[in-house]
Amino acid sequence: MENGPEWKLNRLRFTVAHELAHYFLHRDLPKASHFASLPDFTKWTVSYGGRK
């Protein structure tokens, strides 16, 4: 990775920061649901009424 093209490193840096922002900004949304399984979480994700 260290020897890759600069655009790839910039893209990777952006993607990591972007996904971390999702976590920090939205981590409280699913807490109230107390998912019992991954399929329960998947159903919530599909049916969640927030902005998409």
**pLDDT for 19-40, tens place per residue?**
999 889 988 877 777 888 999 8
Cβ(11)–Cβ(1) under 8 Å?
Answer: no
Q: Rounded to 5 degrees, what are φ and ψ at 37?
A: -155, 165
pTM, to two decimals = 0.55
Rg (CA), the chain: 16
Residue 51 confidence (pLDDT) above 70: no
